[in-house]
Amino acid sequence: MEYNVKVDAFEGPLDLLLHLINRFEIDIYDIPVAQITEQYMMYIHTMQELELDVASEYLVIAATLLAIKSKMLLPKHEEEELAEYDEFDEEEDPRQELIQQLVEYRKFKEAAEGLRLREEERKLAHSKLPSDLSHLHESAKEEQQELDVTMYDMLSALQKMMKRKQIQRPVRTTITRQEIPIEKRMEEIVVSLRKLKKRTSFFDLFPSEEKPHIVVTFLAVLELMKQNSIVVEQEGNFDELFVSYREGRDS
């Protein structure tokens, strides 16, 4: 006879056994078979009294518990006489196989509970349809151009330019001091680049050979790069730098 109706209270006989072990605070590795068998059979009888169809696996575990209980209750001399008819190994704990099944089942049960909790957490998250992020991709490309030129590249270009200008110590003893505000030089560079409407050599931004003017111009270029007002490009390592005005930066 087949028993097809599932008992909703438990997912199977091992689940029922775990319930009993937890309820009576029993060590799963040292199960008191007599006590657990009595409680298990009470559940089976209750299911039958309620006219619930008990699945066959519940009856298999019930028979296993009864066999283990009988084995452990046998006196020593009877155990030796019946050894050849006994299905259990004399030196092996008759509970060992059932304990192993319970330990493995508990692992899967705990893993299933963990997945259930993750599912509940996921239900609290809401997703949306994909968005068009192409404009961010273009912005990233523009920013990447700025990162292609490092401060070391800028200093290297400045060194080359100063050698090209062949700046030397002045022969005259009279020194003329002329201060140029960085803001003014920044405006001059922007106006010049906007008029050209194309990129120009980094060296062309330094028309004067006076050292103060060169320093102020260099600082002005760095500040304009920081503000994303200009673009500094380099086609290859140690190649010449080119500067252009960034469109859409009109103040």
What is the reported pLDDT for 126?
A: 76
What is the reported pLDDT for 4?
A: 37
Contacts 24+ apart (CB under 8 A), 46-54: 47/7, 52/5, 52/7, 53/3, 53/4, 53/5, 54/3, 54/7
What is the reported pLDDT for 44?
A: 81
Contact 45, 62 (CB under 8 A): no
What is the reported pLDDT for 138?
A: 60
What is the reported pLDDT for 7?
A: 43
Q: Where does residue 101 rank: exposed (0-12), middle (13-18), buried (19+ CB within 10 A)?
A: middle
Along the 251 residues of the chain, how does pLDDT read in single tens digits?
A: 333 334 445 678 888 888 888 888 888 888 888 888 888 888 887 777 665 666 788 888 888 888 888 888 777 655 555 555 555 445 578 888 888 989 998 898 899 889 989 898 888 887 777 777 776 666 555 554 444 677 767 877 887 777 777 655 555 545 555 678 899 999 999 999 999 888 899 888 888 878 888 888 889 999 998 888 998 888 877 678 899 998 765 54
What is the reported pLDDT for 167?
A: 53
What is the reported pLDDT for 50?
A: 62
> What distance in Å separates the CA atoms of residue 231 and residue 224, rounded to the nearest whole number?
9
What is the reported pLDDT for 147?
A: 44
What is the reported pLDDT for 16?
A: 86
Contact 37, 72 (CB under 8 A): no
What is the reported pLDDT for 84?
A: 52
